[in-house]
Amino acid sequence: MNYDTEAIRRDFPILERKVYGKPLVYFDNAATSQTPRQVIDEINRMYTQEKANVHRGVHCLSQEATASQEATRERVRGFINADSVEEVIFTSGATESLNLVASSYGQLLEDGDEIILSIMEHHSNIVPWQLLQSRKKVKIKVIPIDAEGRLDLDAYRGLFTDRTRIVSVCHASNVLGTVNPIKEMAEYAHSRGAVFCVDGAQGVPHAKVDVQDLGADFYAFSSHKMYGPCGVGVLYGRRELLEKMPPYQGGGEMIGHVSFSGTTWAELPYKFEAGTPDFVDISALKKAIDYIESIGMDRIAAHEHDLLVYATEKMQAIPGVHIYGTAPDKCALISFLIGNAHHYDTGILLDRMGIAVRTGHHCAQPLMESLGIEGTVRASFAMYNTLHEVDEFIAALTRVAAMLS
């Protein structure tokens, strides 16, 4: 079965627009992916046909909106192979999901307990643990990387002590593209009695994720990076852990009974879903999953890998271009610099040529410091990108490299 990129592109209205008079080449997918008509249509349907607060009303619209939201919960459960819908918690994004784990599971930690992170983590998987550290005397340890951008697994194993309580690492680096050996790392963490948490923001969009096979105790991801709406995220948590954890926020929906003499909590997953959820965009997330699975995650991954290999080979031939992250197993992104040119200058010039890339530290300043740089330019690919777009990018990058040399 042929991979029909042009048919896919027709489902994404924004790809038809021009930037500075040139066809848009959108290579900033690691920051946020674009949204197909099928998802947009569902958002419109919800606002025009089913907008009513969920779980709160006996009337028809409320019941329909509730059914739409809960259908997404079941859709997500199947998509990541969670054991039950009670293990699927809706949040505002991967950032909130990770904050929930650090804040709530973190309350179960004691002074002297240890947390293992990696040098390649996004700030959203560093700062919440530092906030916990400001409240409790816990210790954070950091896994280093090798010259190719892979985690040093010998160093990882050497960080464990009898006080290690949780490991929290990214599935894939949003800077280096490195796909980490999550299953192997989780197995070792479990053998040492630690819980394993995964920032899956760069994992779910690019490969099939089975949380049970990976051995993840927690897995966080965002809708907007997987062709869905903004403002919606998911936290998968193993049920026995979620049941031990105190609520993350208080308010409506997450309660069993409220009185001034004491309050009880709702059952999972609602214990962690205080207030009115973004039920419109949650409902639309299932359409994004439908869209991904209609094409096939394996086929998407193969297409993105072809783009990655092709672009990498072409970029390596451009004088002055240096690529950061050369691990054999990478997701579809490339971070680079041109000689001593500032990443911002490169990004601005590419933008004027119709090429949208990301510049900066990518919310990974500790990693940048370890690499001895301030930031990079990042080109990241998605299911709708084409080899022709890569050629346009390479032509533009070649011009920019000559201008900045």
CATH number for 369: 3.90.1150.10
> Looking at 170, 230, 331, 363, which residue is catalytic?
363
Tokens for 375, please give them: 């930031």
Q: Give the pLDDT band of residue 338 (cuts 50, 70, 90).
A: very high
Choosing from 264, 293, 322, the residue where a domain stops is 293
Q: What is the mean pLDDT of residues 226-248?
A: 97
Q: Are residues 209 and 128 in the same domain?
A: yes
Answer whether residue 185 is part of any domain. Answer: yes
Q: List the one residue out of 120, 156, 152 whose CA is nearest residue 141.
A: 156
Q: Are 24 and 18 in contact (CB under 8 A)?
A: yes
> Which residue in this structure is represented by tokens 């032509």?
395
Burial of residue 188 (CB within 10 Å: 0-12, 13-18, 19+) is: middle
Q: Are residues 255 and 365 in the same domain?
A: no
Q: List the one residue out of 334, 300, 306 whose CA is nearest residue 149.
A: 334
Long-range contacts, 160-163 (Cβ 8 Å, 24+) = 160/116, 160/188, 160/189, 160/192, 160/194, 161/114, 163/112, 163/113, 163/114, 163/139
Average pLDDT, the chain: 97
Report the pLDDT value the prediction gives residue 357, as an integer from 0 to 100: 98
Q: What is the mean pLDDT of residues 257-281?
A: 92
Choosing from 293, 317, 348, the residue where a domain stops is 293
Q: What is the mean pLDDT of residues 327-331?
A: 95
Q: Are residues 364 and 388 in the same domain?
A: yes
- Could you tell me the pTM of the whole model? 0.97
CA dihedral 51, 55, 61, 64 (to 10 degrees): 100
Q: Are 245 and 104 in contact (CB under 8 A)?
A: yes
Report the pLDDT value the prediction gives residue 36, as an integer from 0 to 100: 98
Least confident of 79-93, 114-128, 258-272: 258-272
Q: Are residues 15 and 70 in the same domain?
A: no
Tell me which residue range forms the domain holding 321. Answer: 5-30+296-404
- CATH at residue 242: 3.40.640.10
CA 362 to chain centre: 13
Q: Are residues 26 and 49 in the same domain?
A: no
Answer whether residue 159 is part of any domain. Answer: yes
Answer whether residue 187 is part of any domain. Answer: yes
Q: Are residues 13 and 56 in the same domain?
A: no
- What is the rounded CA–CA span in Å between residue 80 and residue 304? 20
Report the pLDDT value the prediction gives residue 117, as an integer from 0 to 100: 98
Choosing from 250, 269, 293, the residue where a domain stops is 293
Answer whether residue 35 is part of any domain. Answer: no
Q: Are residues 145 and 16 in the same domain?
A: no
Residue 307, pLDDT > 90, answer yes
Give the amino acid at 73: R
- Quick one: CA dihedral 8, 228, 387, 208, positive or negative? negative
Q: Are residues 283 and 309 in the same domain?
A: no
Q: List the one residue out of 16, 58, 22, 21 whose CA is nearest residue 36.
A: 16
Q: What is the mean pLDDT of residues 300-315?
A: 98
Tens digit of each residue's pLDDT (9 = 90 or more) over 115-141? 999 999 999 999 999 999 999 999 999
> Which residue in this structure is represented by tokens 């300043």?
365
Report the pLDDT value the prediction gives residue 255, as an integer from 0 to 100: 85
Which residues does 165 contact at the CB level (< 8 Å), separation at least 6? 109, 113, 114, 115, 194, 195
User: 122 — alpha (psi -120 to 50), left (phi > 0) or beta?
Assistant: beta
More confident of the two residues 266 and 71? 71
Residue 157, pLDDT > 90, answer yes
Tens digit of each residue's pLDDT (9 = 90 or more) over 371-388? 999 999 999 999 999 999
Answer whether residue 222 is part of any domain. Answer: yes
- Reported as type and span, the H/E element at residue 258 is strand 255-259
- What is the rounded CA–CA span in Å between residue 54 and residue 315? 50
Query: Over the Cα atoms of the chain, what is R_g?
Result: 22
Q: List the one residue out of 238, 343, 344, 273 whose CA is nearest residue 89.
A: 273
Q: Give the pLDDT band of residue 1 (cuts 50, 70, 90).
A: low
Tens digit of each residue's pLDDT (9 = 90 or more) over 37-84? 999 999 999 999 999 999 878 899 999 999 999 999 999 999 999 999
- What is the rounded CA–CA span in Å between residue 283 and residue 262? 34
Q: Are residues 284 and 368 in the same domain?
A: no
Report the pLDDT value the prediction gives residue 275, as an integer from 0 to 100: 92
Least confident of 3-7, 53-57, 180-184: 53-57
Residue 33, pLDDT > 70, answer yes
- What is the rounded CA–CA span in Å between residue 153 and residue 185? 8
Answer whether residue 176 is part of any domain. Answer: yes
For residue 331, indicate whether it is catalytic. no
Report the pLDDT value the prediction gives residue 225, as an integer from 0 to 100: 98
Cis check for the bond before 269: say yes or no (omega within 30 of 0).
yes
- What is the rounded CA–CA span in Å between residue 76 and residue 237? 13
Answer whether residue 392 is part of any domain. Answer: yes
Please give the tally of structural domains in the chain: 2
3-state secondary structure of 343: helix
Q: Are residues 304 and 289 in the same domain?
A: no
Residues shown for the chain? 405
Q: List the one residue out of 216, 253, 218 whose CA is nearest residue 233.
A: 218
% of residues, the chain, pLDDT over 90: 95
Q: Are residues 160 and 221 in the same domain?
A: yes
Q: Give the pLDDT band of residue 266 (cuts 50, 70, 90).
A: confident
Tens digit of each residue's pLDDT (9 = 90 or more) over 183-228? 999 999 999 999 999 999 999 999 999 999 999 999 999 999 999 9
Q: Are 168 and 125 in contact (CB under 8 A)?
A: yes
> In Å, how far are 28, 260, 324, 347, 373 from 404, measured between CA atoms?
22, 66, 19, 12, 18
Answer whether residue 250 is part of any domain. Answer: yes
Q: Are residues 277 and 302 in the same domain?
A: no
Residue 354, pLDDT > 90, answer yes
